[in-house]
Structure 1
Amino acid sequence: MAVTIAAPITGTVVPLTGVPDPVFAKALVGPGAAIDPGEGATLTVTAPVSGKLTSLKPHAFVISHRPDQGVLVHLGIDTVHLGGAGFTLRAEAGQQVEAGDEIIVWDLAAARQAEKSVVVPVVVLEADVEDLSVAEAGPIDAGDSLIRIG
Structure 2
Amino acid sequence: MTTVLAPVEGVTVGLSAVPDPVFSAGMVGPGTAIDPARGPGTAVAPITGKIMKLHPHAYVIVGDDGKGVLVHLGIDTVQLKGKGFELLAAEGDRVCAGQPVVAWDPAAIEAGGRSPVCPVVALDARAGSVTAMAGGSVHAGDELFLWD
TM-score greater than 0.5 by the shorter chain: yes
Deviation at 1:137, TM superposition (A): 3.0
Per the alignment, residue 77 of structure 1 pairs with 75
> Which has the higher mean CA deviation after the structures are superposed, 59-68 or 140-149?
59-68
Q: Which amino acid is 2:125 matched to?
A: A
The size of the alignment, in residue pairs, is 148
> What's the % identity of the aligned pairs?
46
TM score, norm. by length of structure 1: 0.93
Aligned pairs (5 A) from 1:90-109: 90-109=88-107
**Is this contact kept in 1: 2:15–2:33, CA < 8 A?**
yes
Per the alignment, residue 85 of structure 2 pairs with 87
Aligned pairs (5 A) from 1:126-141: 126-141=124-139
Take 1:143 and 1:10, find their aligned partners in 2: how far apart are those partners? 8
- In terms of fraction of residues, the more strand-rich structure is 1
Deviation at 1:66, TM superposition (A): 4.0
1:97-135 CA distances to partner (integer Å, 9 max, x unpaired)?
000111000023441232000000000001112221142
**Is this contact kept in 2: 1:24–1:121, CA < 8 A?**
yes
Per the alignment, residue 21 of structure 1 pairs with 20
Per the alignment, residue 3 of structure 2 pairs with 4
1:68-91 CA distances to partner (integer Å, 9 max, x unpaired)?
420000000000011111100000
Deviation at 1:144, TM superposition (A): 1.1
Take 2:65 and 2:71, find their aligned partners in 1: how far apart are those partners? 18
Take 1:92 and 1:141, find their aligned partners in 2: how far apart are those partners? 23
Take 1:92 and 1:27, find their aligned partners in 2: how far apart are those partners? 28
Q: Secondary structure at the match of 1:81?
A: helix
Take 1:134 and 1:23, find their aligned partners in 2: how far apart are those partners? 23
Take 1:23 and 1:67, find their aligned partners in 2: how far apart are those partners? 26
TM score, norm. by length of structure 2: 0.94
The root-mean-square deviation of aligned C-alpha atoms, in Å, is 1.3
Structure 1 stretches lacking a partner, 5+ long: none
The 4+ residue runs of structure 1 with deviation greater than 4 A are none
